[in-house]
Chains A and B, each alone.
Chain A
Amino acid sequence: MTLLSVRDLTVKFGTRGTPVTALHGISFDVARGERVGVVGESGAGKSITGFALMNLLSRPGYIDSGEILFEGKDVTKMSDREIRRLRGNRMAMIFQDPMVTLNPVLTIGQQMIETLRAHRRLSYDDARQISLVKLKEVYIPSPEARLDQYPHELSGGMRQRIVIAIALLLDPQLIIADEPTTALDVTIQADIMELLLEMCRSNMVGLMLITHDLGVVSQVTERTLVMYAGRIIESGKTRAIINDPQHPYTQGLINALPQQTPPGTRLRQIPGSMPTLSTMPPGCPFNPRCELATDVCRARMPEITQFGEVQVACHEVKRLHAELAELEGAQ
């Protein structure tokens, strides 16, 4: 059953004069309890997608067109009050850097209790009890004492656990996690990821995991969206994308993983860098960096086409598949 359905979502940034487009009409679905990874390099529009879902884009960004259907209702058409009832309640978010996510002058307890009381009629003591239970669930040692502590008294990993506990407080249907482990020490990244996975599984919570770590994506998610320059260029079952990437960009990403290179040799990389919003090339945005690029790629944006378990937006992939089908037909 579909929990979230995004259709032709376009996000623009209105600076003086003509606005630039950050998301070019992206479409995707998240089913109930499904874990979806969103990968791509910095600036591809991953975080913007996450914030747009909660209508939390910071100025001058805005949703230009498209639909975000969450539990059947269009978020883009909701009033401020309606959307506030959704945030933190049905749809929660985990931010990148736990060192700056929590308010430094409020205690952990205050920040948890206010969340509960923003959505439910609860007494202070009841809200405190629920907070305590959630802190225990995310394996916070001596949770009673933590409630009265300030964020600066806790380590980064501990703070991210608390952020996860806050996200889970009201049993949301969807958690949007924006690079939840990037700012953490390598030794605790795995712990936090495992915790997040466990919480989503046991509570049947949908997860949108925004990351650039393909390893994490393959371990945690069932489906993956690959983003490039504000577009979804490949999507499908995570297993299929990791094992048999179709789009030249996805192939490049996977080849760039250190595990893909024999020890002692140079790491592979995708030459060049992603175009900025204001210097977008005509045609496929990846064409300046693509080895397979042809004149068609430089002229026209490829449409998204289904190939087996995955959807890919690439002229060359489409041509190769067509040739393959022809050969098979000839045999």
Chain B
Amino acid sequence: MTGSALAAVTWSDVFDFSDYGALLALVQNSLWAGALLGLVGGLVGVVVVARDLPFAVHGTAELSFAGGAGALLLGVDVVAGSLVGSVLAAVLFGVLGNRAREHNSAIGVLMPFGLGLGVLFLALYEGRAANKFGLLTGQIVAVDDPQLVSLAVIATVVLVALLVLWRPLLFASLDPEVAEARGVPVRLLSPVFMLLLGLSVAMSVQVVGALLVLALLVTPAAAALRVSASPYLVPVLSVVFAVVSVVGGTLLALGSSVPISPYVTTVSFLIYLGCRLVARLRRPPARAGAGAARAVGAA
């Protein structure tokens, strides 16, 4: 690659906002899908972080990708395919234990297998290349009406279930023994949450792609937890961060030839960096040092 070839890729190739109004009308469905996804991802993310499950999210996403790729090859509905993949993964992980630590190696074994399977399906598929790429890195204009309806149905199921389960789920996530002693059905909640996680991942794969699901299901919650520990504020902030990432990323991607995912992940990452900075300013290093000294003293 020579310097002149690089220079040929100019700013205007990446960004072109000349027909923005017309584009906006075309992607209305995608914006709605993104908002739904942000709402679900932001809430699910809080529990994912509390249960220490980011690795399980990644594993679920790869199997969801395999499911979607398989559906593409067979010519059946891609959403249904990725749902089957992620629900299967979530149930498998859920059966393997309550906490991430207990089954990280199992996820590490299943994840590359899922990814390999997906790549195989895509290699065999002879349709449009954009469809192939979309499952991994996300797509933007692809959300049609029936797809939006199916996303809305999944989102509603996940949101209602989360609202009902929220308090005992949080309790069981951070202190399973005490929660069980207080009558929380800890062993039931684990697979149920994994199922909800599977549904959320399948939704996210449609928009940001399998490789970058973490940007929606982990980063916003992790950012929120940097600036607050209030159980009321953290879910709200996490949802706001996730919605801003997806909708903002979509709007930026509109005038661009690059897929949607780099925009979403960049916005999401910048929010995270901002939150770290805010936390740093509010909690100067001296305070953090005192906290570390206390922790050592107690050990």
A binds B: no
